[in-house]
Structure 1
Amino acid sequence: MSSVVQRVSAATSDDALAHFQARLGFETDCADVYYATNHETKDFVLLDVRTPTMYAAGHVPGALNMPTRTISEQRLLDYPADTLFVVYCAGPHCNGANKAAVKLAQLGRPVKEMIGGLTGWIDEGFGLDR
């Protein structure tokens, strides 16, 4: 008898490769954002999509506060059309980053989610700005 893990067969290697490569087009992680911000040319705009109150209580260094409800074509006019936006919210228990990513994509903007959000950032041991 197989374990609960193996009761559903794993995808083929080709399918797994396609799936995991595609995921990297939709998301990045806290360590990559930290490294890019501190050791490379920052070629993206990091958006904290939580409320201004939550942002003021602590946010990822260099992040701009743009709550999802405020994302609009007008607010994005200062950014070239090919600007990559990386969005985050409170953490895995929050879908605010997903909602913001949908809105940015609807506006034709490149977007990735920083998986883990603020919780992931803190779990990695990275500091916050206030």
Structure 2
Amino acid sequence: MRMTNALRFPAADPAAAASFFAAELAFEADPDDVHRDLQDGNTHGYVLVETRSPEAFAQARIPGAVNLPYRDLPDELDLDPDLVYICYCESFQCNAATKGALALAQRGYRVKRLAGGITAWREAGYPIESDAHSVVGVSKVACHC
């Protein structure tokens, strides 16, 4: 019998797989989970952080997010060290969230990255807002990193 492409590399044993996936979840937050929290008014313990430029933040952002552009983060920040900072940017193709999370972690803060950024958020049909007004159907969210 011919080996399948999907199993050409054997699956890890269950204990190794559990460790790997638990570690992965320690670094990322799911847009669906964050949206449920926002709907329930329960964001206790974390803050959403938009790591793109102020121009991108003004154009489109997840409601309740704060803007901390990764390029402009000062060495000293007045943030609550007891909170987790969930960083996001434009999409999987953008690494501003990774750079922002790295910068915050280097300053001693606990961080996660929002999987898929604001693009995945918008594609799931969740609301976004802008400085002008609340927006639901923005066709494209620009990176502006």
In the other structure, the counterpart of 2:140 is none
| Residues 1-130 of structure 1 mapped to structure 2, 5 A cutoff | 1-43=2-44, 44-74=46-76, 76-77=77-78, 79-130=79-130
Question: Could you say what the CA RMSD is over the residues aligned between the two structures, in angstroms?
Answer: 1.2
**Higher relative contact order (Cα pairs below 8 Å, separated by 6+ residues):** 1
Secondary structure of 1:97's partner?
helix
Q: Structure 1 runs of 4+ off > 4 angstroms?
A: none
Give a deviation string over 1:90-125, Cα, whole Å, max 9, x none.
001111111111111111100000011011101111
- Which structure shows the higher helix fraction? 1
Secondary structure of 2:25's partner?
helix
Q: Which runs of 5+ in 2 are unaligned?
A: 131-145
Secondary structure of 1:91's partner?
coil
Q: Which runs of 5+ in 1 are unaligned?
A: none
Count of aligned residue pairs for this structure pair:
128
- TM-score, normalised with respect to structure 2: 0.83
Distance 2:9 2:41 in 1: 41
Give the residue type in structure 2 aligned to 1:16.
A
The percent of aligned pairs where both chains have the same amino acid is 34
